Amino acid sequence: MKRSLQLRQQQMMKALLGNNDDIADYIIGDQQLDARQRLSIYQSGYRIRLREVIDNDHPVLGSYLGDQLFEQMTEGYIDAHPSTFRSLRHYCDRLPDYLRSDTFFSQYPHIAELARFERGLLSSFDAADRDTVSVADLQQIPPEQWPTLQLRFHPSLQLFNADMNVVEIWQSIKAERTPPNVTQQTEYWVIWRNPERLTEFRSVDTLEQVLLDCFLQGGDIEKAAEITAQTDAVNTAETLLTYLFRWLELGWVQQLTDAQSPPIFDVV
């Protein structure tokens, strides 16, 4: 008994995914609308819905590509990636990978990078909420404890490393200006959600990126100071503190912990 319901659902899914229309033999048609016309309402609805998600999630990428290439991308992605998600929020998670591997789009690697940047913005937008610690909180900790302090960043904070000027291109399109040509250059960006719940991004220099990475990997202030000392920074402590205070002021840090003891400021 169970098998006929299962079979119909398998046939319907095949029709939606464009594999075959066998299900039409089990749909009642009439003079107004035959079975295939009725089935096509669902088939076109499936693709329209997914196209809208890509359009909504990637408006800047859409503007950059223009109608024809955007359609090529959406149709290719929908064919290659049926949705495996309950929520459409995640449907485009594989879009950057798709663009990197597609025969046509992989010729233009910055297109995948534009998609990756837009997904990063979305990830920060609805990442978990956490209170953050301030410069004053850090200053309450006795200086002798600082060397073993570790930083835990806000869940919305992400490092976006690129080897081309993709963020500049994104910004130009967003501002409806002519985007610059693609240039190969190493860039480090941080994406995060500010206390007003607005998503922001900011470029960071090489040392700042290395220090952020150090803390993200579980390093402490002593380790960060060693890294800073190996650079041409004139004053190691002042350089490191400038970064730390900036991160605290921007609301990037949710927790200051000491590896040897329970969290000092745990505001989770």
Partner 1 sequence: MTDHNLGFGLGLRTPHFQDVLNTQPDVDWFEIISENFMVAGGKPKYYLHAIRERYPMVMHGVSMSIGSTEPLDNAYLQRLKQLANEVQPEWISDHLCWTGLDGINSHDLLPMPYTEEAINHIVERIKQVQDTLGRPLLLENVSSYISYTDSVMSEWAFYNEIVERADCLMLLDINNIYVSSRNHYFDAQDYLDSVNPARVRQIHLAGHSDYGTHVIDTHDHDVCDPVWQLYRQALQRFGPVSTMIERDDNIPPLTQLIDELNIARQIAAEVHSSKPLIREVAG
Interface residues toward partner 1, by CB under 8 A: 1-2, 4-6, 8-10, 12-13, 16-17, 25-28, 30, 32-33, 35, 38-39, 41-42, 45-46, 49-50, 82-89, 124-130, 155-156, 193, 197
Q: How far is CA 48 from CA 2, 29, 33, 55, 157, in A?
A: 31, 23, 21, 10, 33
In the complex, least distance from residue 75 CB atom to partner 1, rounded to whole angstroms: 17
Residues with Cβ within 8 Å of 43's Cβ and at least 6 positions away in sequence, in order, are 15, 16, 18
Is the CB of 29 or the CB of 263 nearer to partner 1?
29
Query: Within 10 A of 267 (CB to CB), how many other CB atoms are there?
Result: 15
In the complex, least distance from residue 35 CB atom to partner 1, rounded to whole angstroms: 8
Is the CB of 18 or the CB of 180 nearer to partner 1?
18
CA–CA distance, 225 with 11 (Å, rounded to integer): 63
In the complex, least distance from residue 7 CB atom to partner 1, rounded to whole angstroms: 9
Is the CB of 31 or the CB of 68 nearer to partner 1?
31
- Residues forming beta bridges with residue 153, ordered by sequence position: 253
Longest distance between any two alpha carbons in the chain, whole Å: 85
Is the CB of 53 or the CB of 69 nearer to partner 1?
53
In the complex, least distance from residue 9 CB atom to partner 1, rounded to whole angstroms: 5
